[in-house]
Chains A and B, each alone.
Chain A
């Protein structure tokens, strides 16, 4: 129990003196996760919209599959991507393994199901009369879709925050795809895993506290932005 207190103290110290390596890996965690969210959102929100707004055979099955993949284990995703981008794999020529880009790829794949599925849920939550009103007011089909997405924006941003949380807290794929290389692919979660392995539990907890702090700040910022618009 005293480890927890020590960890809190150490976390504050690390932040206060802006320890260069902690700052570096924190920024990298942020950058990688933010990039993952942006890329995934660019895919998932339109695709979620497409799925929601069209009726087709097997739609329910597709949504079920998407929801099943919410709980895909991160090591499985890591392994899957590893096999693709390893030099021995089909995309080996891109030399992506053990780079921050590889981590981003892994995280994007990880959060694709969540973002898509929750976008669909968010859109479901919008009353059908919104669509009728938009069309009746002269919106084109595309404009109506954007209006509906805008109506669902709170729920969609909630999905983005959730996706960001899953990305920034994820270890398995980041370790396997990034290699935890000091100064290049080390992020908060892989650093925590290393320090745990080396027995420095207090430092692990301290880094964990910093990670939660970052996640909280991001969530607050996103909510504030949402309120203002």
Chain B
């Protein structure tokens, strides 16, 4: 009788053992390559390579919006094979991703917030920054465009939205990321350009909605509320089929969105040990192999690529990175 509980525990332990045996057997991708794995984005991506003990783990942090596009499902196995490492990708808003970097919890960062990155590098945490892709932000909103922003410049559009929202919050609303992400930083920049103090905007009325959510959920919410929202084109295209809001403003230097990669500085973070791999990663992102993938990613699904490669000088407007920023290899 007294051994009954011991027996129950023994059974549970056996169950755990059995499960972990099954798990280690199941990990090598055992379905034929023809069937796409479920959590990939719609274009069929290559299967993850099997786990082999002893392979080092290389961790990067990226932004939610970039992750949600599914581009990494492609790039991940490519890099793992090339560099013979396990690439672990965690995603969060830019602010949190940078924090992971400061804490040494990741070895490299892929983000898109120039101001925050500059500060990060100035503090000594980031080194070897390069750019590898770009796209644009856009303002999406209800087709009826109650604030009348179609065709305006970004700052002009924001001004109209502010005025319209303050006047009648039931007609004009704006959904903000409110989470210190790259998109959020861009949003704050535009408010500044339009002549507003961001704190004033936040307090000005119920028309301005701070969600703290990722890009996708914000788009869905903007759709629900028929509100305006600042989004990157890649996420917008990924969600286009699910929403009725449409792009109303997509031109303007302020909308330029450049994707950067940088390594964590082992001199500042003593625990960072993967610098050679990080450097290889950075160089690889600038390589033809990746640039070609970036040039076509999304065409099959959306009719146009979600990103533009920097290689070949595709970015020509003011604010685009200099040639050395997207071509010079890291030593």
Interface residue ranges, A against B (CB under 8 Å): 14, 17-25, 27-28, 30-31, 34-35, 37-38, 41-42, 45, 86-89, 92-93, 97-98, 143, 146-147, 149-150, 153, 156-157, 160, 179-186, 191, 194-199, 203, 221-222, 225-226, 229
Contacts and interface: CB of A to CB of B under 8 A. Distances in A.
Specify which of A20, A143, A184 lies most central, judged by the most chain B CB atoms within 10 Å of its CB.
A20
B95 interface: no
Interface string B55-87: 000010000100010000100100000000010
Interface residues of B, number: 54
Given A86-B105, A92-B271, A149-B5, A203 B90 contact: no
By Cβ-Cβ distance, the 3 closest A-B pairs, closest first, are: A179-B90, A146-B2, A87-B104
Nearest to A178: B90
A199 B239 contact: yes
Contacts, number: 137
A182 B76 contact: yes
Given A19-B38, A197-B214, A184 B86 contact: yes
B19 interface: yes
B4 A229 contact: yes
B196 interface: no
Interface stretch (B20-28, B128-136, B245-253, B288-296): B20-28
B49 to A, nearest CB: 9
Interface stretch (B6-14, B165-173, B176-184): B6-14
Interface stretch (B29-37, B109-117, B142-150, B314-322): B29-37
Interface in B196-228: 213-214, 216-217, 219-220
Interface of B: 1-5, 7-9, 11-13, 15-16, 19-20, 22-23, 26-27, 29-31, 35, 37-39, 47-48, 51, 59, 64, 68, 73, 76, 86, 88-91, 102-105, 213-214, 216-217, 219-220, 238-239, 242, 269, 271
B104 A92 contact: yes
